[in-house]
Amino acid sequence: MITLIACVDKNMGIGKDNKLLVHLPKDLEHFKNTTEGHMVLFGKNTWDSLPVKPLPNRQNIVMTRNIGFRMPTVWRFDTIDDVLWYGKYSKTENQVFICGGEAIYKLLMPYADELIISHMDAEFEADTFFPRIEEDEWMLYSCEGVADNVYFEIAKYYRRHKGE
């Protein structure tokens, strides 16, 4: 299973100057609770922006073409096939969470089974964005409001199958 997880503003903005748009403690808690025990994959820019890494209790994966990238316990992927193997074809019960940023969401959204999106009820200046969530491709199946520095709704979508 391949799941994209992100926090977006009203314009689908996700970041500015290689940082998140806003600090949301409850969204970070939701991210931790959702991803613990699974694989978490980051693009190299997002990886560089993490204040603490690797994230504990998860297999951390960094997507980069830099063959010199090395960090103990962290895996480097440089092809979509690596992601598909662990997310879809591996016989073990692996779930891969795709954790951004823009380049990685764009690259892997066509292969995702599920989206978990925190939709903030606010607008920020942004330079990176989440791809459009097309209604004919994605079915909303769960939505839960959370009061934080900014109110947000955690929306879960699964990929529609033909005829749905």
Ligand X SMILES: NC(=O)c1ccc[n+]([C@@H]2O[C@H](COP(=O)([O-])OP(=O)(O)OC[C@H]3O[C@@H](n4cnc5c(N)ncnc54)[C@H](OP(=O)(O)O)[C@@H]3O)[C@@H](O)[C@H]2O)c1
Task: Give the end-to-end CA distance of the chain in Å, rounded to a whole number.
Answer: 20
Rounded Cα–Cα distance for residues 152 and 67 (Å): 38
Q: How far is the CB of 34 from ligand X (least distance, A)?
A: 12
In 3D space, the residue among 1, 9, 14, 21 whose CA is nearest the CA of residue 101 turns out to be 14
One residue of 60, 100, 116, 119 binding ligand X per CB under 6 A: 100
Which amino acid is located at 150 in the chain? V
Q: How far is the CB of 161 from ligand X (least distance, A)?
A: 26
One residue of 40, 61, 104, 109 binding ligand X per CB under 6 A: 104
Burial class (CB in 10 A: 0-12, 13-18, 19+), 133: middle
Which amino acid is located at 123 in the chain? E
One residue of 12, 103, 133, 146 binding ligand X per CB under 6 A: 103
Residues between 11 and 30 that touch ligand X (CB under 6 A)? 14-15, 18-20
Enumerate binding residues for ligand X (CB under 6 A).
Answer: 6-7, 14-15, 18-20, 43-46, 49, 63-66, 78, 99-104, 107, 128
